[in-house]
Amino acid sequence: MNGSLSANSQLLLSLRTGLVEPACQIAVCIPAVYAYQGQTLLSNCPMALGAQDISAYDNGAYTGEISGSMLKEFGVRYAIVGHSERRQYHGESDETVAAKAKRALSYDITPIVCVGETLAEREAGQTGDVVSRQLAVVIAALGEDISKIVLAYEPVWAIGTGKTATPMQAQQVHAMLRSQLKAASDSADSIQILYGGSMNAVTAGELLRQPDIDGGLVGGASLKLLDFLAIIAACA
The residues that touch ligand PGA, with contacts defined as CB under 6 A, are 154, 159-160, 196-199, 217-221
Are 201 and 227 in contact, with CB atoms under 8 Å apart? Answer: yes
Q: Is 154 a catalytic residue?
A: yes
> Which one is catalytic: 65, 154, 174, 206?
154
- For the bound state, the minimum distance from the C-beta of residue 216 to ligand PGA, rounded and expressed in Å, comes to 8
3-state SS class at 163: coil
Closer Cβ to ligand PGA, 34 or 195, answer by number: 195
- For the bound state, the minimum distance from the C-beta of residue 136 to ligand PGA, rounded and expressed in Å, comes to 22
- As a whole number of angstroms, the distance between CA 193 and CA 232 comes to 16
- Give the residue among 111, 146, 153, 148 at the shortest CA–CA distance from 131: 153
Q: Which residue is nearest to ligand PGA (CB)?
A: 219
Closer Cβ to ligand PGA, 35 or 159, answer by number: 159
* Kind and range of the H or E run holding 152: strand 150-153
What 8-state DSSP symbol labels residue 224? S
Q: Is 201 exposed, middle or buried (0-12, 13-18, 19+ CB in 10 A)?
A: middle
- For the bound state, the minimum distance from the C-beta of residue 116 to ligand PGA, rounded and expressed in Å, comes to 9
Q: Is 144 a catalytic residue?
A: no
Closer Cβ to ligand PGA, 85 or 121, answer by number: 85
- For the bound state, the minimum distance from the C-beta of residue 150 to ligand PGA, rounded and expressed in Å, comes to 13
The catalytic residues are 83, 154
